[in-house]
Amino acid sequence: MASMLLTSLRSSPLTSVQAAQFAARSLSTSVHLQAQAKSKKTLAKPGVKNIVLVDGVRTPFLLSGTTYADLMPHDLARAALQGLLNRTGLPKDAVDYIVYGTVIQEVKTSNVAREAALGAGFSDKTPAHTVTMACISSNQAMTTAVGLIAAGQCDAVVAGGVEFMSDVPIRHSRKMRKTMLSLNKAKTLGARLSLLGSIRLAHLSPELPAVAEFSTAETMGHSADRLAAAFGVSRLEQDEFALRSHMLAKKAQDSGLLSDVIGFKVPGRDIVSKDNGIRPSTMEQMTKLKPAFIKPHGTVTAANSSFLTDGASAVLIMSEEKALAMGYKPKAYLRDFVYVSQDPKDQLLLGPTYATPKVLEKSGLTLNDIDVFEFHEAFAGQIMANLKAMESDWFAQTYMGRKTKVGAPPMEKFNSWGGSLSLGHPFAATGCRLVTTVAHRLQKEGGQYGLVAACAAGGQGHAMVIEAYPQ
């Protein structure tokens, strides 16, 4: 695939000036969009229950190893749940179910949804379970909530996600684990001494976690580098896109647009109220960084990749009828969604390319109908590769079985408040951030439809259409 793409897909790189213009233009469009009177059809379906996003919050997303370093995952999840309760004034016993996503599980709190819910003061009669689907784990949590409500099982569900990269489980080697388990079962002193005598120095080497595919043994960074090369995405394009993300995030943060962020009092420390990974740089500084994965000729660096992040998010999802009965003014309707999967080796990060046309067709919409796009930014090269794939008739015909391309989102509508490259990416918490941001942007910009899309490990992906709630 790589060689075919290299010869078939090329586009001119953006200039540094254009990167800055993209950032400025993306923010200025909100003023123009507010003045537009939308008259598109609603996606409500006869006989189908309307499901709404009432509100969403998140803890500040922080670089791992910083202020949250001494906490545990359920501490962050609990803070997000408590923040949601405070933001909405929701009675704790009004929630029918809680579902939370996480990727790297803390073994002591494997069902982190339940532990966080109990810690946040929810009723012990409220069921809670945890899901995992790599970077779309909270997307899965939200759509699980949608399914529970659509099936008539629940009226109010809290969904969310948490990731804590400051402290990840590190295991003994398999041989050491087997020896320790056998030692625990040994009944005689001789048996125990024999097992202890079998331990070798190599057995003490730990198994460190890695963001790598089990099926291919390749790290996601390597996959991103190969994908960027396959689509002819230059280092310059990647650095410019990353710079754009940081510039937009900084402007949004300074303008108070990131209203989903709640303050969190870290025990023994000050209140944390802002994401700390937003760091606009210069092209000159970014070009000095060496490749992080494929050396020395790779193009993916620390500056154009999302960073290891600690954080949690939570959203309140309800049937429209229940929300209105309780006096809420919802932010948005959650409409059609799809999940996709493809080859985890060559197409690991192309989820948005496959999911976007499917969810548009399911909704009866076109790309031009979408006012707000929020795509997960795992790597700048991943985003740019998806945009090029979406603009390619050849790729659509060769790999997707489609007659024509779906087209790439216009940049002035795309991730205009920053993205995972700058805001951070706590794996399982990002999905809720994307959906909440779409709802807030639709309100701010006067749009009607938003589209969320994300890739995930295993070659999987997700997309959802969100419709603004009438103002």
Question: Between the CA atoms of 208, 115, 156 and 339, what dihedral angle is there, to the nearest 10 degrees?
Answer: 10
In angstroms, the CA 236 to CA 121 distance is 49
> Does residue 432 carry a catalytic annotation?
no
In angstroms, the CA 19 to CA 170 distance is 41
- What DSSP element (H or E) covers 146? helix 137-150
Tell me which of 103, 135, 278, 456 is the catalytic residue: 135
Ordered DSSP codes for 372-427: EEEE--SBHHHHHHHHHHHT-HHHHHHHS--SS---PPPGGGBSBTB-HHHH-B-G
In angstroms, the CA 447 to CA 30 distance is 9
Cβ distance 334 to 145 under 8 Å?
no
Residue 252: both structure tokens together: 């949004």
Cβ distance 430 to 138 under 8 Å?
yes
Q: Which of 352, 360, 335, 357 is nearest to 460 (CA)?
A: 352
In angstroms, the CA 427 to CA 415 distance is 18
Tell me which of 455, 457, 464, 468 is the catalytic residue: 455
Ordered DSSP codes for 88-135: HT--GGG--EEEEE-SS--GGGSSHHHHHHHHHT--TTS-EEEE-BTB
State the catalytic residues: 135, 455
